[in-house]
Amino acid sequence: MAEIVQQRIEDRIPELEQLERVGLFTKKEVKSIIKRATALEYKLHRLIVNKEDFIAYVQYEINILELVKKRRAHIHYQFKIEEIEFPIIHRINSVFRRATKKWKDDVQLWLSHVAFCKKWATKGQISKVFSAMLAIHPDKPALWIMAAKSELEDRSSSESARHLFLRALRFHPNNKKVYQEYFRMELLHCEKLRKQKAELEKAEMDLVSVSQIENKLWETHVQKHSLYIQCLNTQAEFVISLLNIAAIFDFTKELQDLILQDLQANHTEDSLTWDFMAKRELEAPSAGEELQTAKGRASDISRREERCCQVYEEGVKSLNTGRSSYIHREKRCDVAQKILSPSRQHSVLSSKMRTARRQFCFLVCSQRGLLSAVPAVAMEMKESYLDWSYSTGGYKKARKTFTSLQENRPLSKAFFNTMIEIEKQQETPKMNYLRDYYERALQEFGTSDDDLWLQYIQEELGPLGQPENCGKVHWRAMKFLEGESVERFTSKYTLLQTGHL
């Protein structure tokens, strides 16, 4: 062991002498480096080695490398970078290889090596690291995607990226993310070729070069279309994701039309198709002339909202008609969020538009069983559904909805407050029901929400309550509240008793 360590240290002596000669390090610093490097090398050659020792060695060498780069800018000595930095980079790569060979399953260790190669521009080494890593971890789609992107972005090699994606699909033939990123890569490659062709034509280069690029463009055109055809008969969400990728590029109208036709022909039983088509109507580009006046802009918005509403209404009819087959489709706990979230971007839309969208969304959720799913239904969705139940079915339907959802977490304070307000709006509100709502809310938020306890006390002090209950509620609040919320509650309760709240 000692011989190996000594040999490694002796091998770096010329490099350290060079660093001292050009003024990057002092003689004292060089001695310190030798001492520290020797200690680190010995740790790597013990019978039982730790991964942390390898990481410490790498970090120490990186610190030296960064110091060299920083000091190099302040000296006037002319030298080649490879004489100074490359030996350190080579040594760091070597330590990484020794570590990943011993801890092959540690993906983070592999990725740390990749990150180092990217930062220090050792592009050839990146491919080798990814190749070795994928040989050990072919079961991880994300690593294939990272490797392919690296070939495209770091080495500008579309051919290598395509080769990696094709290999990835052999291991993961049903992975949607691999298909999506492969699809994106082909479009990026096509965009690059189009720019090259335009530059050649502008420079009036020979026709042979232009023809070669045209041939490559045709190959890419065939590749991306055949890739999409492989993805047919999948779920609407995936088809829409490919359409959104294609829409990023300004030369894909034909491809977008093909995808849109497939979506409309084969996925009308999926709610996301109707939501996508409705939003497409809402966001459709308008004629430039009519937008020059306020009246024209208002007319345009009204027309697009009307078309959007029509699509939602058609979707409601279609999904109701195909209810039996629709219910048996795979449940997706995020569908409500996907449909409702974009509506925040259109806060000025007409009430008719919002009503159509909400009716469509709640139909989808009730059919898919999402509103009783445990536990991942969005809190906002539950609040909205409770409010919608009351507006369309009245008090009884709202009570029924609240009962069905109150045990399905996550829940929000607003969900309980909505039901409390609905109860208080009735001609003869029932205090027993109000107490139930407060008690259920306090089960969720009683340890931290001092305002909720205070709200409960104020309810008991009101015309429906019993003031003698306030003492019990106060005692429970002091028992359950934690941390700073106790002080806030005490302060507010005092203000309430003195009539200042």
Give the pLDDT confidence score for residue 294 in this predicted structure.
73
127 within some domain = no
Indicate yes or no: pTM above 0.85: no
Confidence of residue 6 (pLDDT cuts 50, 70, 90): confident
498 within some domain = no
Q: Of 334, 355, 373, which residue is a domain's last?
A: 373
Instruction: Judge residue 361's burial from the number of C-beta atoms within 10 Å of its C-beta, 0-12 exposed, 13-18 middle, 19 or more buried.
Output: buried
254 within some domain = yes
Give the pLDDT confidence score for residue 85 in this predicted structure.
82
500 within some domain = no
Query: Stretch 404-420: mean pLDDT, rounded?
Result: 86
3-state SS class at 293:
coil
Greatest C-alpha distance within the chain = 96
Give the pLDDT confidence score for residue 196 in this predicted structure.
77
Least confident of 141-145, 219-223, 259-263, 295-299: 219-223
Here the CATH number for the domain that contains residue 244 is: 1.25.40
Mean pLDDT of the chain: 79
Same domain, 163 and 283: no
d(CA 188, CA 359): 39
Confidence of residue 69 (pLDDT cuts 50, 70, 90): confident
Same domain, 262 and 274: no
Same domain, 252 and 147: yes
Cβ neighbours for 213, distance < 8 A, ≥ 6 positions apart = 193, 196, 197, 200
Same domain, 101 and 220: no
Least confident of 38-42, 180-184, 305-309: 305-309
Using alpha carbons, select from 203, 189, 160 the residue that is nearest to residue 251. Answer: 189
Same domain, 252 and 183: yes
d(CA 309, CA 349): 11
Q: Of 93, 120, 147, which residue is a domain's last?
A: 120
Q: What are the backbone dihedrals phi and psi of residue 78, each rounded to the nearest 5 degrees, phi first?
A: -90, 120
Q: CA 368 → CA 175, 180, 268, 324, distances in Å?
A: 24, 26, 16, 11
Same domain, 263 and 273: no
Give the pLDDT confidence score for residue 72 in this predicted structure.
77
Same domain, 149 and 227: yes
Same domain, 308 and 364: yes
Same domain, 99 and 1: yes
pLDDT tens figures, 322-355: 443 333 333 333 444 444 444 444 444 455 556 6
Same domain, 262 and 193: yes
Give the pLDDT confidence score for residue 420 in this predicted structure.
95
Asked if the model's pLDDT at residue 419 lies above 90, the reply is: yes
- Give the residue numbers spanning the domain of 155: 138-267
396 within some domain = no
Higher-pLDDT residue of 267, 366? 267
In the block, which residue shows the tokens 């008991």? 460
Q: Of 120, 148, 163, which residue is a domain's last?
A: 120
Percent of the chain with pLDDT over 70: 76
Least confident of 253-257, 288-292, 423-427: 288-292
Query: Stretch 136-141: mean pLDDT, rounded?
Result: 93
Cβ neighbours for 401, distance < 8 A, ≥ 6 positions apart = 371, 385, 386, 389
Structural domain count of the chain: 3
Least confident of 21-25, 154-158, 226-230: 226-230
pLDDT tens figures, 206-244: 544 545 555 555 455 545 555 555 555 578 888 888 889
211 within some domain = yes
414 within some domain = no
Q: What are the backbone dihedrals phi and psi of residue 270, each rounded to the nearest 5 degrees, phi first?
A: -105, 130
288 within some domain = yes
Same domain, 111 and 142: no
pLDDT tens figures, 467-485: 999 989 999 998 889 888 8
In the block, which residue shows the tokens 């023809």? 211
pLDDT tens figures, 161-170: 989 999 998 9
Using alpha carbons, select from 367, 439, 435, 437 the residue that is nearest to residue 399. Answer: 437
CB atoms within 10 A of CB 179: 23
Query: DSSP string of 418-473?
Result: HHHHHHHTSSS--HHHHHHHHHHHHHHHTTT-HHHHHHHHHHHHSTTS-GGGHHHH
Same domain, 80 and 65: yes
Take residue 137 and report the two structure tokens written for it: 């971890």
